Amino acid sequence: MAKRVLSAVDRRKLDDGSDGAFYDSPRFVTHADDGFLDRLTELYAATVPAGGRVFDAMSSWVSHLPDDNYERVVGHGLNADELEANDRLDEWFVRNLNEEPTLPLDDRSVDAVLCALSVQYLQHPATVFSEFARVLDDGGVVVVSFTNRMFPTKAVRAWRTASMDGREELVRSYVAATDRLETVRTVDERPDDDPFRAVVARR
């Protein structure tokens, strides 16, 4: 069982209304600048196994993957129109992980779990990261990336009030809480205006 890493206060959002309603309308925009997104694609190229099975968690209309071929790319998000428009996804599903923090994927069924620009919205991150570990095959990789942008009304209090270093520590604590993932690398760069942060973990 995952350890709880956020208190009830830590999990609070300024807008505690329905997440589904908030994300009901598609947003065909990117949530970081080009420098960030190019660096993210480079990181994926260096860490995601070519020909592997990929799960893109909390995804949208673009996955930022390199042009490599993958056996299978499964996407997840809260807006069906965005996921339908993502031509890198072989299949996808809609699920609110704050209400149902489980994944309809088999144990050890993917080689990489990606979570870009979205980890700040998880209210039960240790449980979700334990699901990441469950669906990840031995030796598989998790890549969690973030910058200083967010929808502030939907980000959890622990994230909103933390520095960038503090946010990295939060993600590292989510990884550690699973007891099956280990952080193997962190990235702290600024390729353009937006800071680029990433935590890379392995099972």
Q: Say yes or no to pLDDT of 87 above 80.
A: yes
**For range 149-162, the mean pLDDT:** 94
Find the helix or strand (DSSP H, E) in which 72 lies: strand 72-77
What's the CA gap between 14 and 43, in Å, rounded?
32
Domain ranges of the chain: 19-202
pLDDT in tens, 4-20: 789 999 999 998 876 66
Give the per-residue pLDDT at 15.
Answer: 85
Q: Say yes or no to pLDDT of 112 above 50.
A: yes
**For range 25-41, the mean pLDDT:** 82
Residue 158 or 30, more confident? 158
Residue 39, SS3? Answer: helix
What's the CA gap between 176 and 171, in Å, rounded?
9
Select the CATH number that applies to the domain covering 19-202 from these four: 3.90.960.10, 3.40.50.150, 3.90.70.10, 3.20.20.450. Answer: 3.40.50.150
Q: Say yes or no to pLDDT of 2 above 70.
A: no
What's the CA gap between 58 and 121, in Å, rounded?
10
pLDDT in tens, 132-150: 999 999 999 999 999 999 9
Q: Say yes or no to pLDDT of 131 above 70.
A: yes
